[in-house]
Structure 1
Amino acid sequence: MAGNAPQLLTDEQMRQFITQGYVILKTDFSDRFHKHLTKQLNEVYTNEGNPGNNLLPRIRELQKVFDHPVIDGALTSVLGPNYMMHSHRHGHYNAVNRPGGWHKDSYWGYKRMRNHHPWWAMIMYFPQDTPVELGPTGIFPGTQYYETRTFRQDEGKDEVLASGDAGTFALIHYDIWHRSTANLLGQHRYMLKFEFMRTSYPVQPTWDNHDDEWALPKNLNAPVARHDILWKETWNWLSGRVGSLSRTLPEDSGLVTELAAQLHDEFEPTALNAAYELACRGQLGVNALLSALQHEDVRVSRIAAYGLSIAGRDAIEGLTNSLESKRLETVTHAVFALGELGHLASEAVTRLGDLLGHPSEIVRREVVESLGMIGTPVNDVVSGLIRCLKDEDVQVRFMAGLALTHLGCAGAEAVPHLEEVLDDDNRYVRGHALEALRYIGTDEAKDVLIKILMNSRWCSTTTPSSTFYP
């Protein structure tokens, strides 16, 4: 196996990830390792069924995969060095001679507004040789930015298949459109899916970066549409330059009017490009986006929010005022955009905190995530997230744990409250509370963490056929 230092992605690989939403890579484990891993999977799936979230402790050798410098380096490049492995994971078994439908993964059955910036990523790992005939995962390049399916089912010529030798994996943007393909051989085919999250805003490039400025990848594959401003802004954001494109284009009133009309376009890529361009055209462009944020068509309002999320300080006052809207969609979209603006939106934290008593759980869900992303003033953010740990809505509770992972030791005040929710009925409330304790990392947090992990420790070799001996 390669050395222990993470093998970071290159500038060219990061350009591909930004534009196409995936990178295909391969580990260098031996064939013996993969054969043994696949044998264990066959035994577990045959005798016990799918282990679900217990996939990693049940197949302990899998941890070596995620410790591999190629995978660690790829995740570090996209999500930063403090990335988190989510407690949800799943082993997909496919022996079906028909393709699955195109889809985006949900958030374990829950809903949230999807990020264009790479806050989330997914590893799809193939432990066996996976030729095209065995049914690898199909990926549609560049579709991670689209809520709607903007391509036809018959556009297979543009589909990318994650096929290859054992040890191949696809690192994908969490929101890319993908599907299973037909297993024509009828043999065992496993795809082990693990989710990962960024826990902090980027402050500098975390890949093997040599070029400061954005450039298109050499072999650009954008079968649906190009998004030059969106791609450049994402590169800058990953480099630690939040709001870097605001006011970079002239305030042309005629062009702003034309772009504002394009926000209503039925073809989502056109509307997205208009939103991102308006965000670069000074206060006139921002005002057009703020007006669209109020639109009764939820699609138009959502598209406007993406533009406002990159508009920098010009958008803060208008977004904060939009929190008073009577339209639920306007409020949730405004909250989302403020969260994406990070520390630039710190002045809005008090108003966001007021929304934690909002009667709609949809609003409260968006607020809790944005508070963690903004992060300051710390005392206000932490007190708000502690309140969210006790919310009646389960999604608010588990998102509060995730939000606290962003704060590190600054979230220490939440430790006793996190300890309380370790008895919650929901697995993700408990799982995210454990992660929050780990990232807070104080002695008190570690003591709570060790106690609960010892009390709930899981024996990876105990099965229905082997309960205690040998």
Structure 2
Amino acid sequence: MSQQPILLNDEQIRSFITNGFLILNADFPEAFHQRLTEQLGTIYAEEGNPGNNLLPRIREVQQLFDHPTITGALTSVLGQDYMLHAHRHGHYNAQPVPGGWHKDSYWGYSRMRNHHPWWAMIMYFPQDTPLELGPTGVMPGTQNYETRTFESDETEGEAYASGKAGTFALIHYDIWHRSTANVRGQSRYMLKFEFMRTQVPQAPSWNNAAATWTPPADLQLPIASHDAMWEDTWNWLSGRAGSLAGTRTPSISEIEELQEQLRDTFEPVQLNAAYELARCGQQGVAALAQALHDERLDVSRLAAYGLSVSGSEAAQVLRSALHDTRPETAAHAAFALGELGASVQPALKELAGLMSHPSEIVRLAVVEAFGLIGEASDEAVSSLIRAMQDPVAQVRFTAGLALAQVGQGAEAAVPYLAEAMEDENRYVRAHAHEALRYIGSEQAKDILIKALFNARWCPTTTPANTFYP
């Protein structure tokens, strides 16, 4: 079997951008999935859910993520240097009633979610999973909605990760999903793993032939179309960030209409208005800047998404908003600056100055912004070192992720990452390991290897098998 990643094609990327998921299947033999299913049954019965220890507990699982179909899909969506996140979970479903619709949190925490695909999940089903066995259901196209835009008992348009043993669902991390009813009552397992992009795309990382955006043939939207947002995501993945900005010359009445739509109560309408205003040059930026300070937080948040794709013209507006007295507005501005990327270098010093802000949501947004920008500036690295010592765990573990995104230029953070490997929070420790790996200096590797050896795991040691063989 060739180990060269099998990259996605244009049509698959279009489908992922719009629908928010792809169903894949790798060419493992049936016996491979059967062995995994049997192991899971034994482990769940004797030890319970292994949680974050799925990989070391079941060594064969790593083969799933080394398969060229899976590495190719992840590379296509997240770039070559994607990260396998430390959080992973085995889902067991034997319930005859469906679960509730939800978006996953970020390990129990909340954050402003990225529309650009910085995060993805893979769900693997080791047994044949027909609809009667309760596969995961997803609502296509809902990955960029913070609110649930459909009734809780509505299933029209629902798609299912249903198929033969070895079915993989690659999903946008933020899509609305649920477990469906397992009417057979037999054991159904699903292994969930999370992945993160570490670099802003500079060029397409999939098997790209077309330069311009067109919707996919298999568009499955039960709710709304978002042409401007989809085009922006395609261009961003192609290494053309900000190319949506200023592509439309609106009339005054068109701007006013879009402003009204931005204050609608239905999020898909608001979302389209935000991205259409991003097309409208200075007039659009001015309208979005006003909305950023709206009394309604949902309007402010959606305005930030519009500003995040409005190009360099939005930078000064966002720099001013960093000093707003409402923490949410400042956090929204920091998020948008992060998504604007390297073009906002003049704002780095102002972002660094917010690391002493009393609000943790502002500090968290600043840390994430430094990670998205990815610049190894003195302001960024010193701010992230400071964040590694923040009293709030989410700020600390996000700083570790951001340092991984900064990479080799964050050498000054290595001693602090070594200290973080003793943190009480599992994700602070895990992200410190990842940051050391991406920094990659000799000092970083020495610290990392020692820590991994000290924490080494024996996958065959269980309460029933302590020493032999």
2:113 corresponds in structure 1 to 114
What does residue range 48-197 of structure 1 map to in structure 2 within 5 Å? 48-197=47-196
1:5 corresponds in structure 2 to 4
Tell me how far apart the structure 2 counterparts of residues 297 and 90 of structure 1 sit (CA, whole Å).
Answer: 36
Q: Deviations over 1:257-306 (max 9, x none)?
A: 11111111011000110000001101111010000000111011011011
Tell me how far apart the structure 2 counterparts of residues 93 and 231 of structure 1 sit (CA, whole Å).
Answer: 34
Contact 1:422 1:430 in 2 (8 A): yes
Q: CA deviation at 1:219?
A: 2.2
Matched residue SS, 2:364: helix
1:427 corresponds in structure 2 to 426
Tell me how far apart the structure 1 counterparts of residues 242 and 376 of structure 2 sit (CA, whole Å).
Answer: 20
Q: TM-score, normalised by structure 1?
A: 0.99
Contact 2:134 2:180 in 1 (8 A): yes
Contact 1:251 1:283 in 2 (8 A): no
* 1:299 partnered with 2:305: no
Q: Deviations over 1:189-235 (max 9, x none)?
A: 00100000000000000000000100110122221000000000000
Contact 1:332 1:362 in 2 (8 A): yes
Q: Deviations over 1:435-461 (max 9, x none)?
A: 000011111110000000011111111
Contact 1:15 1:217 in 2 (8 A): yes
2:233 corresponds in structure 1 to 234
* 1:357 partnered with 2:347: no
1:309 corresponds in structure 2 to 308
Specify the code of the residue in structure 2 equivalent to 1:61.
Answer: E
Q: Deviations over 1:402-449 (max 9, x none)?
A: 001112211111111100111000000000000000011111110000
Tell me how far apart the structure 1 counterparts of residues 328 and 453 of structure 2 sit (CA, whole Å).
Answer: 44
Tell me how far apart the structure 1 counterparts of residues 2 and 182 of structure 2 sit (CA, whole Å).
Answer: 35
Contact 2:376 2:410 in 1 (8 A): no
Tell me how far apart the structure 1 counterparts of residues 124 and 242 of structure 2 sit (CA, whole Å).
Answer: 35
Q: CA deviation at 1:172?
A: 0.2
Q: CA deviation at 1:155?
A: 3.0
Specify the code of the residue in structure 2 equivalent to 1:380.
Answer: E
Tell me how far apart the structure 1 counterparts of residues 329 and 245 of structure 2 sit (CA, whole Å).
Answer: 22
Specify the code of the residue in structure 1 equivalent to 2:65.
Answer: F
What does residue range 253-264 of structure 1 map to in structure 2 within 5 Å? 253-264=252-263
Contact 1:372 1:404 in 2 (8 A): yes
2:344 corresponds in structure 1 to 345
Matched residue SS, 1:430: helix
Tell me how far apart the structure 1 counterparts of residues 8 and 281 of structure 2 sit (CA, whole Å).
Answer: 34
CA RMSD of aligned residues (A): 0.8
Unaligned stretches of 5+ in structure 2?
Answer: none
Tell me how far apart the structure 2 counterparts of residues 221 and 430 of structure 1 sit (CA, whole Å).
Answer: 40
Matched residue SS, 1:100: coil
2:368 corresponds in structure 1 to 369
Contact 2:376 2:409 in 1 (8 A): no
Tell me how far apart the structure 2 counterparts of residues 154 and 298 of structure 1 sit (CA, whole Å).
Answer: 27
Range with greater deviation from structure 2 (406-415 or 278-287): 406-415
1:334 corresponds in structure 2 to 333
Q: Deviations over 1:234-255 (max 9, x none)?
A: 0000001111111100042221
* 1:405 partnered with 2:394: no
Tell me how far apart the structure 2 counterparts of residues 286 and 36 of structure 1 sit (CA, whole Å).
Answer: 56
Specify the code of the residue in structure 1 equivalent to 2:216.
Answer: P
Specify the code of the residue in structure 2 equivalent to 1:28.
Answer: D
Specify the code of the residue in structure 2 equivalent to 1:161.
Answer: Y
1:382 corresponds in structure 2 to 381
Tell me how far apart the structure 1 counterparts of residues 130 and 250 of structure 2 sit (CA, whole Å).
Answer: 52
Tell me how far apart the structure 2 counterparts of residues 206 and 22 of structure 1 sit (CA, whole Å).
Answer: 17
Matched residue SS, 1:218: coil
Q: Deviations over 1:13-32 (max 9, x none)?
A: 00000000000000110011
Matched residue SS, 1:143: coil
Specify the code of the residue in structure 1 equivalent to 2:302.
Answer: I
Tell me how far apart the structure 2 counterparts of residues 70 and 271 of structure 1 sit (CA, whole Å).
Answer: 37
Tell me how far apart the structure 1 counterparts of residues 151 and 109 of structure 2 sit (CA, whole Å).
Answer: 26
Matched residue SS, 1:382: helix
Matched residue SS, 2:109: coil
Q: Deviations over 1:82-133 (max 9, x none)?
A: 0000000000000111100100000111110011000000001001111111
Contact 2:319 2:350 in 1 (8 A): yes
Contact 1:276 1:307 in 2 (8 A): yes
What does residue range 204-283 of structure 1 map to in structure 2 within 5 Å? 204-283=203-282
1:446 corresponds in structure 2 to 445
Q: CA deviation at 1:377?
A: 5.6
Specify the code of the residue in structure 2 equivalent to 1:397.
Answer: R
Contact 2:376 2:406 in 1 (8 A): no
Specify the code of the residue in structure 1 equivalent to 2:399.
Answer: A
Moved over 2 A (4+): none
What percent identity do the matched residue pairs reach?
62
Contact 2:328 2:361 in 1 (8 A): no
Contact 2:199 2:374 in 1 (8 A): no
The number of equivalent residue pairs is 469
Matched residue SS, 1:373: helix
Tell me how far apart the structure 1 counterparts of residues 347 and 375 of structure 2 sit (CA, whole Å).
Answer: 10
Tell me how far apart the structure 2 counterparts of residues 192 and 346 of structure 1 sit (CA, whole Å).
Answer: 40
Specify the code of the residue in structure 2 equivalent to 1:13.
Answer: Q
Matched residue SS, 1:89: strand
Matched residue SS, 1:134: coil
1:43 corresponds in structure 2 to 42
Tell me how far apart the structure 2 counterparts of residues 251 and 282 of structure 1 sit (CA, whole Å).
Answer: 9
Contact 2:97 2:180 in 1 (8 A): yes
Q: TM-score, normalised by structure 2?
A: 0.99
1:285 corresponds in structure 2 to 284
Specify the code of the residue in structure 1 equivalent to 2:127.
Answer: Q
Matched residue SS, 2:143: helix
Tell me how far apart the structure 2 counterparts of residues 465 and 20 of structure 1 sit (CA, whole Å).
Answer: 45
